[in-house]
């Protein structure tokens, strides 16, 4: 079974839970930027949480399904229609054979995730189906979707649907509230700026941002020691300070080493907030301790586990 891409959307890629264990060789993690939304969409259709989904950025694709399928959308509030009928977020839907799904603009948030029962069964590379746009591998030839692509689907229980069916129940996939709230930061290894300089102003996401990192606009920061650094390991969440004084927050497609000063690190629990920021959105940082970061991560994992139990116990379509 396969899905036909009639129109690709602005930037649509195949992503899963990421490519782990290769950073020592210079290979990035990549994977879904909002891994919570990605996991929840998979749970709604009966997939493993790390199965491959489509990550839709700002405006989505137009797709045709050969057979009846179970789908779910989570993440950004995307304008979704199937053969003219509106589809909701955060609940499973059955689409009949021959359906055309149109994912339009994201009205709130930057990235939505489309899960289909069975997952998108593209060939894994280094243990992952995720698209590495910088490396040019994984997903569909290491690139964004194009019109004419055919996406294979993995095995899933057969479904019958003469017409579209939508579950009467849904989940709350907004997690801990406002995706544009405070983003918590651990101190960096090269924190030679004034202690509160990063936190005392509101930053704005620049248009040049992408899956590699969020470039921020605001009053430039001045670092006390401006000497060149030897390149050192960096990771998703690292906040770098380039010579212009405007921070860059690294995301899933981040390089493995960098020479800019590292002035902080966004805690793991807040990465989904970063994923949903759009160009022009405001962003504020707040200091965080390692213990607070660990507690926040545990709360997020517990919340996902509770949702997984509720989804498993929900009535079938």
Q: Kindly report the average pLDDT of the chain as a whole number.
A: 92
With respect to residue 315, please indicate whether it lies within any of the assigned structural domains: no
Question: In sequence order, which residues have a C-beta less than 8 Å from that of residue 11 and are 6 or more positions away?
Answer: 57, 58, 144
User: Chain centroid to CA 8: how far?
Assistant: 18
- 78 lies in the same domain as 16: yes
**pLDDT score of 180:** 53
Tell me the CATH number at 209.
Answer: 2.40.100.10
- 20 lies in the same domain as 156: yes
Q: Which of 145, 174, 203 is the last residue of a domain?
A: 174
Q: Show the 3-state SS of the chain.
A: CEEEEEECCCCEEEECCCCCCCHHHCCCCCCCCCHHHHHHHHHHCCCCCCCCEEEEECECCEEEECCCEEEEEEEEEEEEEECCEECCCCCCEEECCCCEEEEEEEEEEEEEEEEECCCECCCCECCECCCECCCCECCECCECCCCCCEEEECCCCCCCCCCCEECCCCCCCCCCCCCCCCEEEEECCCCCCCCCCCCCCCEEECCCCCCCEEEEECCCCCCCCCCCCCCEECCCCEEECCCCCCCEEECCCCCCEECCCEEEEECHHHHHHHHCCCCCCEECEEECCHHHHHHHHHHHHHHHHHHHHHHHHCCCC
Q: Which of 140, 174, 208 is the last residue of a domain?
A: 174
**Which pTM does this prediction carry?**
0.95
List the end-to-end C-alpha distance of the chain, in Å, as a whole number.
21
- 105 lies in the same domain as 49: yes
- 137 lies in the same domain as 224: no
| CB distance 145 to 56 below 8 Å | no
With respect to residue 239, please indicate whether it lies within any of the assigned structural domains: yes
- 148 lies in the same domain as 228: no
With respect to residue 309, please indicate whether it lies within any of the assigned structural domains: no
| CB distance 13 to 139 below 8 Å | yes
With respect to residue 61, please indicate whether it lies within any of the assigned structural domains: yes
Domain that holds residue 286: 183-302
**pLDDT score of 177:** 45
Nearest to 105 by CA among 64, 83, 77: 77
A 10 A CB-CB count for 210 gives 14
Q: Cα(20)–Cα(35) distance, rounded to whole angstroms?
A: 14
The partner residues of 102 in beta bridges, in order of sequence, read 62, 81
A 10 A CB-CB count for 50 gives 20
- Torsion of the alpha carbons at 55, 56, 62 and 65, rounded to the nearest 10: 20
With respect to residue 161, please indicate whether it lies within any of the assigned structural domains: yes
- In this prediction, the residues of the chain whose per-residue pLDDT falls under 50 are 177
Q: Which of 174, 196, 211 is the last residue of a domain?
A: 174
- 166 lies in the same domain as 188: no
- 102 lies in the same domain as 59: yes
- 10 lies in the same domain as 142: yes
- 211 lies in the same domain as 69: no
- 162 lies in the same domain as 197: no
Distances (CA, A) of 260 to 2, 223, 233, 240, 241: 44, 11, 11, 6, 6
With respect to residue 313, please indicate whether it lies within any of the assigned structural domains: no
- 10 lies in the same domain as 59: yes
- 32 lies in the same domain as 117: yes
Q: For the chain, what's the residue count? A: 317
Q: Cα(100)–Cα(176) distance, rounded to whole angstroms?
A: 33
Look at the chain and report how many structural domains it folds into.
Answer: 2
């Amino acid at each position: 079974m396969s899905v036909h891409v009639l129109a690709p959307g602005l930037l649509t890629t195949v992503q899963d839970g990421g490519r782990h264990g290769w950073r020592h060789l210079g290979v990035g993690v990549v994977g879904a930027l909002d891994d919570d939304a990605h996991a929840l969409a998979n749970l709604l259709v009966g997939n493993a949480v790390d199965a491959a989904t489509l990550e839709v950025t700002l405006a989505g694709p137009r797709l045709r399904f050969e057979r009846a399928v179970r789908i779910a959308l989570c993440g950004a509030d995307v304008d979704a229609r199937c053969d003219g009928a509106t589809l909701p977020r955060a609940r499973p839907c059955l689409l009949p054979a021959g359906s055309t799904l149109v994912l339009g603009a994201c009205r709130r948030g930057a990235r939505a995730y489309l899960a289909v029962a069975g997952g998108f069964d593209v060939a894994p590379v280094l243990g992952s189906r995720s698209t590495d746009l910088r490396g040019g591998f994984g997903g569909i030839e290491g690139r964004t979707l194009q019109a004419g692509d055919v996406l294979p689907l993995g095995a899933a229980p057969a479904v019958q649907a003469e017409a579209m069916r939508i579950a009467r129940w849904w989940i709350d996939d907004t997690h801990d509230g406002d995706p544009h709230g405070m983003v918590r930061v651990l101190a960096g290894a090269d924190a030679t700026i004034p202690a509160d300089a990063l936190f005392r102003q509101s930053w704005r996401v620049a248009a040049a941002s992408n899956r590699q990192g969020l470039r921020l606009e605001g009053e430039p920061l001045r670092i006390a020691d401006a000497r060149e650094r030897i390149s050192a390991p960096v990771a998703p969440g690292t906040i770098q300070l380039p010579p212009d004084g405007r921070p860059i927050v690294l995301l899933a497609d981040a390089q493995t080493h960098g020479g800019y000063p590292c002035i902080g690190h966004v805690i793991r629990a807040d990465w989904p907030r970063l994923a949903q920021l759009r160009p022009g959105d405001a962003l504020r940082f707040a200091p965080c301790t390692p213990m607070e970061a660990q507690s926040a991560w545990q709360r997020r994992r517990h919340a996902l586990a509770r949702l997984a139990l509720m989804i498993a116990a929900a009535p079938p379509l």
